[in-house]
Amino acid sequence: MSGQSEHNTKTLKLIVWRQAGPDKPGRFETYTAKNITDHHSFLEMLDVVNEELIKDGKEPIVFDHDCREGICGVCSQVINGLAHGGQERTTVCQLHMRLFKDGDTIYIEPWRARAFPIIKDLMVNRGALDKIIQAGGYTSAHTGGCPDANSIPIPRPEAEYAMDAAECIGCGACVAGCPNGAAMLFTGAKVSQLAALPQGQVEAAERVVAMLQAAQDCGFGNCTNHYECQAACPKGINVKFIARLNREYFKAQF
Amino acid sequence: MILNGKCPTGPVEQSWDKARFDMKLVNPSNKRKYKILVVGTGLAGASAAASLGELGYNVEAFCYQDSPRRAHSIAAQGGINAAKNYPNDGDSIKRLFYDTVKGGDFRAREYDVWRLAQVSNEIIDQCVAQGVPFARDYAGYLDNRSFGGAQVSRTFYARGQTGQQLLLGAYSALSRQIKLGTVKMFTRTELLDIVLVDGEAKGITLRDLVTGEIRVHTGDAVCLCTGGYANVFNLSTNARGCSVTAIWKAYKKGAFFANPCYTQIHPTCIPQAGDYQSKLTLMSESLRNDGRIWVPKKKDEKRAANDIPEEDRDYYLERKYPSFGNLAPRDISSRAAKEQCDDGRGVGPGGRGVYLDFRDSIKRLGENLIRERYGNLFEMYERITGENGYKVPMRIYPASHYAMGGLWVDYTLMSNIPGLFVLGEANFSVHGANRLGASALMQGLADGYFVIPYTIAPYLAASKPGKVNTDHPECRKSIDDVNGFIRKLLSVNGKETPADFMRKLGNITWNLVGMGRSKESLTEALSKIPEVKEEFWKNLKVSGSPKELNQQLENAGRTIDFIEFADLLCRDALARDESCGAHFRVEHQYEDGEAKRDDANYMHVAAWGYKGEGAEPERHTEPLDFTVIKPAVRSYK
A:B CB pairs within 8 Å: 239
Of B176, B350, B450, the CB nearest to A2: B350
- Stated pTM of the model: 0.96
Q: What does the pLDDT look like over A97-131, one tens digit per residue?
A: 999 999 999 999 999 999 999 999 999 999 999 99
Residues 6+ apart with CB under 8 A from B395: B270, B271, B347, B348, B353, B354, B355, B356, B385, B387
Has residue A2 got a pLDDT over 50? no
| A141: chain B residues, CB-CB within 8 Å | 126, 129-130, 173
Is the separation of the CB atoms in A50 and A58 below 8 Å?
no
Percent of chain A predicted with pLDDT > 70: 97
| A149: chain B residues, CB-CB within 8 Å | 84, 124-125, 127-128, 134, 142
> Other C-beta atoms within 10 Å of B527: how many?
11
| B548: chain A residues, CB-CB within 8 Å | 21, 120
> How far is Cα B588 from Cα A8, in angstroms, rounded to an integer?
45
Lay out the sheet containing B292-296: strands in order across: B263-269, B394-403, B354-357, B292-296, B313-314
Computed over every residue of chain A, the mean pLDDT equals 95
| A199: chain B residues, CB-CB within 8 Å | 128-131
Q: What does the pLDDT look like over B589-608, one tens digit per residue?
A: 988 778 899 999 999 999 99
Q: Helix A127-134 to helix B162-180 angle, to the nearest 10 degrees?
A: 70
Q: Name the band, by pLDDT with cuts 50, 70 and 90, for residue A4.
A: very low
| H, E, C per residue of A65-82 | CCCCCCCCCCCCCEECCE
Q: What does the pLDDT look like over B258-283, one tens digit per residue?
A: 999 999 988 999 998 878 899 999 88
Q: Helix B498-512 to helix B519-539 angle, to the nearest 10 degrees?
A: 170
Closest C-alpha among B145, B155, B130, B153 to residue B51: B130
Q: What does the pLDDT look like over B417-458, one tens digit per residue?
A: 999 999 999 999 999 999 988 999 999 999 999 999 999 999
From the number of C-beta atoms within 10 Å of its C-beta (0-12, 13-18, 19+), residue B232 rates as: buried
> How far is Cα A11 from Cα A192, in angstroms, rounded to an integer?
45
Has residue A29 got a pLDDT over 80? yes
* Whether A44 and B277 lie within 8 Å, measured CB to CB: yes
Of B138, B158, B274, the CB nearest to A37: B274
Is the separation of the CB atoms in B117 and B100 below 8 Å?
yes
Has residue A7 got a pLDDT over 60? no
* Whether A143 and B51 lie within 8 Å, measured CB to CB: yes
Q: Please name the helix (run of DSSP H) or strand (run of DSSP E) that holds residue B38, with its range, or none.
A: strand B35-39
Of B240, B275, B348, the CB nearest to A66: B240
User: Which pLDDT does position B213 carry in this prediction?
Assistant: 98
Mean pLDDT of A176-190: 98
Question: Which residue pairs from B366-370 have beta carbons closer than 8 angstroms and sit at least 24 positions apart in sequence?
Answer: B370/B290
Residues 6+ apart with CB under 8 A from A141: A199, B126, B129, B130, B173
Closest C-alpha among B326, B302, B321, B20 to residue B146: B326
* Whether B69 and A130 lie within 8 Å, measured CB to CB: yes
User: Which pLDDT does position B274 carry in this prediction?
Assistant: 78
Has residue B547 got a pLDDT over 90? yes
Please, how many CA atoms are within 13 Å of residue B597, restricted to the half-sphere of its CB?
21
> How far is Cα B490 from Cα B501, in angstroms, rounded to an integer?
15
- Residue B383 is classified by DSSP as H
* Whether B275 and A3 lie within 8 Å, measured CB to CB: yes
* Whether B140 and A162 lie within 8 Å, measured CB to CB: no
Residue A89 three-state SS: coil
Measured between CA atoms, the residue of chain A closest to residue B353 is: A1
Closest C-alpha among B436, B568, B514 to residue B235: B514
Is the separation of the CB atoms in A66 and B240 below 8 Å?
yes
User: Which pLDDT does position B591 carry in this prediction?
Assistant: 80
* Whether B122 and A146 lie within 8 Å, measured CB to CB: yes
* Whether A127 and B66 lie within 8 Å, measured CB to CB: yes
* Whether A138 and B379 lie within 8 Å, measured CB to CB: no
How many residues can be counted in chain B? 637
Q: Largest Cα–Cα distance in chain B?
A: 75
> How far is Cα A73 from Cα A75, in angstroms, rounded to an integer?
6
Has residue B636 got a pLDDT over 70? no
Q: Among positive and negative, which fits the CA dihedral A81, A82, A87, A90?
A: positive
How far does the CA of residue A42 sit from the closest CA of chain B (Å)? Answer: 11
Rounded alpha-carbon distances, angstroms, from residue B48 to A167, A186, B357, B455: 24, 26, 40, 12
Of A148, A159, A170, the CB nearest to B67: A170
* Whether A153 and B139 lie within 8 Å, measured CB to CB: yes
DSSP line for B427-440: B-TTTTT---TT-H
User: Which pLDDT does position B347 carry in this prediction?
Assistant: 94
DSSP line for B90-102: S--HHHHHHHHHH
Closest C-alpha among B245, B251, B257, B242 to residue B201: B251
Mean pLDDT of B352-373: 94
Rounded alpha-carbon distances, angstroms, from residue B468 to A108, B56, B59, B222, B417: 48, 20, 16, 13, 16
Q: Name the band, by pLDDT with cuts 50, 70 and 90, for residue B148.
A: low
Q: Name the band, by pLDDT with cuts 50, 70 and 90, for residue B375.
A: confident
> How far is Cα A75 from Cα B8, in angstroms, rounded to an integer?
46
